[in-house]
Amino acid sequence: MLSERMLSLGLQSSVIRDIFEYGLKRKKEIGNNNVFDFSLGNPSVPPPKEVNQILMHLIETIPAEKLHGYTSGPGGQCVRSAVADYIKNSFDFAATSDLIYLTCGAAAGLAISLNALTTEQDEVIILAPFFPEYRVFIEHTGANPVIVQSKTDDFKPDFELLAEAITEKTKAVIINSPNNPTGTCYTKETIQELADLLNKKQAEFNQVIYLLSDGPYQELVYDIELPFIPDYYDNTIIIYSFSKSLSLAGERIGYIFVSPKTKNANKVFASICGAGRSLGYVCAPSLFQFLIKECIGLTADLSVYKKNRDLLYNGLINLGFEAIYPDGAFYLFVKSPFKNAKKFCEKAKEYELLLVPSDSFGTQGFVRIAYCVSTEQIINSLPAFNKLAKELNLL
Ligand code: PLP
């Protein structure tokens, strides 16, 4: 007898992956340049040149048994110290290496943290639209996801709805700023309001409510400054990944940082170590741990995404589409001219434009365009969007 839950998860296909697979097939039929695939959040910009240089240097200078061997479960001590120093220097925040756990990207960071914090029947609040895997990770722990819709004009939290959703069962709230799929960023005013609400609810229910800040797009902000969340709320756990900032998505490297201001921070960290152990997520990829130690703080050339954002946003607005202005990440959230976003995606497909319906992210009536593609693809896709807009009488 297999696990029914795992079987059904394994058999479910992902809408995003299906669209991507369709794009591959279609490219074979009509040529790569004739299909405008905006489905996946896979960085198109190469890692900075230092990444290859450092990798070569590591391979030449560190003995193989050390470079490719096991590290401590939470990561090599020197790497954890480098991450702590980086946080200290960048955010003027007293981070310590004993509260840092190296992970296989943000996905593992989320899975580990949720397993560490929750027990059956707890509730974890997620703000829609959200990264679809949140639901999978929460349900795996036996806790229940509670979905709270964000405001559809700017996709900031709807604090009234959020306040109603927090109960004595609430163990954690997950936020993701810059956001996938909307590109929305939370300013310090938004984070302050969130912190005030959570502090009030903690006092009301006499219990800790953790704030999980899922931040793989931390550096992908274009015109605004992001607040450092542990400055605003004590019980914060940061989940970070180098997938997007360094274009290392396939190398699976990131970290969890428990704010030292978290109640019983050392115990929370011990629970994170336990969850990592029970999930088999110990000792993140060693070569890339060494790499991170050397190049933490560097980024790929993120200006390409800003250029793409401007071209795509302005191009689509001029064609009569409505979209949320994204301050960060590399996604544009466009209002579907039909009530049913899937119908809009099908129509766009007729013009070889591959977009993702927002239903996948827990919100109706929008589509996500991942603009982490070449600038050439953005420019070449605009005539297709133009034809689509004409057919839909938007112009
Ligand atoms: N969280 C969000 C919001 C994401 O968009 C992604 C990946 O796209 C992840 C987490 C997982 O990232 P990683 O590749 O670091 O596991």
- Tell me how far apart the alpha carbons of residues 77 and 81 are, in angstroms, rounded to a whole number: 6
Please tell me the distance from the alpha carbon of residue 147 to that of residue 362, in angstroms, as a whole number: 8
Domain boundaries 50-295, corresponding CATH code: 3.40.640.10
Query: Please, what's the largest Cα pairwise distance for the chain?
Result: 64
**CA 139 to CA 141: how far, in whole Å?**
5
Smallest CA separation from ligand 1 atom 12, residue = 106
The 3-class SS string of 142-183 reads CCEEEEEECCCCCCCCCHHHHHHHCCCCEEEEEECCCCCCCC
- Where residue 275 falls (left for φ over 0; alpha for ψ -120 to 50; beta otherwise) is alpha
Which of 376, 242, 369 lies closest to 300, judged by CA? 242
Domain spanning 4-48+301-391 has what CATH number? Answer: 3.90.1150.10
Tokens of 170: 């609430």
CA 115 to each of CA 110, 144, 272: distance values in angstroms, whole numbers, following the listed order: 8, 12, 8
pLDDT value for 137: 97
Show the tokens assigned to 204: 């009301």
Distance, in Å, from the CA atom of 330 to the CA atom of 302, rounded to the nearest integer, reads 10
Measured distance CA(108)–CA(239) in Å, rounded: 9
Ramachandran quadrant class, 356 (left: phi over 0; alpha: psi -120 to 50; beta: rest): beta
Q: If you take atom 8 of ligand 1, which residue's CA is the nearest one?
A: 41
Question: Closest Cα partner for 113 from 6, 258, 216?
Answer: 258
Please indicate whether residue 123, judged by its CB atom, sits closer than 6 Å to ligand 1.
Answer: no
**pLDDT at residue 360, as a whole number:** 87
Partners of 100 in beta bridges: 257
Strand partners, 149: 128
Please give the distance, rounded to the nearest whole angstrom, from the Cα atom of residue 331 to the centre of ligand 1.
13
* Separation in Å, CA 145 to CA 4, 12, 128, 366: 19, 19, 11, 22
Kindly tell me the sign of the dihedral angle through the C-alpha atoms of 301, 306, 311, 313.
Answer: positive
Q: What pLDDT does residue 129 have?
A: 98
Q: What one-character DSSP code corresponds to residue 13?
A: P
- Which atom of ligand 1 is least distant from the CA of 214? 1
Is any ligand 1 atom within 6 A of the Cβ of residue 179? Answer: no
The CA 177 to ligand 1 mean position distance, Å, reads: 12
What SS3 class is residue 383?
helix
Domain boundaries, the chain: 4-48+301-391, 50-295
Give pLDDT < 50 ranges for the chain. Answer: none
So what's the pLDDT on residue 378? 98
Q: What is the DSSP letter of 125?
A: E
d(Cα 135, Cα 320) in Å, to the nearest integer?
34
Measured in Å, residue 96 CA sits from the centre of ligand 1 at 24
The per-residue b/e assignment along 127-166, b for 16 or more CB within 10 angstroms, e otherwise, is bbbbbeebebbbebbebebbbbbbebeebbbbeeebeebb
Of the candidates 182, 191, 269, the one whose C-alpha atom is nearest the C-alpha of residue 226 is 191
CA–CA distances in Å: residue 68 to residues 120, 180, 204, 284, 316: 38, 33, 50, 11, 47
**What is the position in ligand 1's atom list of the atom closest to the CA of 242?**
15
C-alpha to C-alpha distance for 197 and 157, rounded to whole angstroms = 12
Provide the pLDDT for residue 223.
86
Q: Whose CA is nearest to atom 2 of ligand 1?
A: 131
Is residue 41 within 6 Å of ligand 1 at its C-beta? yes
- Distance, CA of 268 to CA of 259 (rounded, Å): 10
Tokens of 99: 């509260």
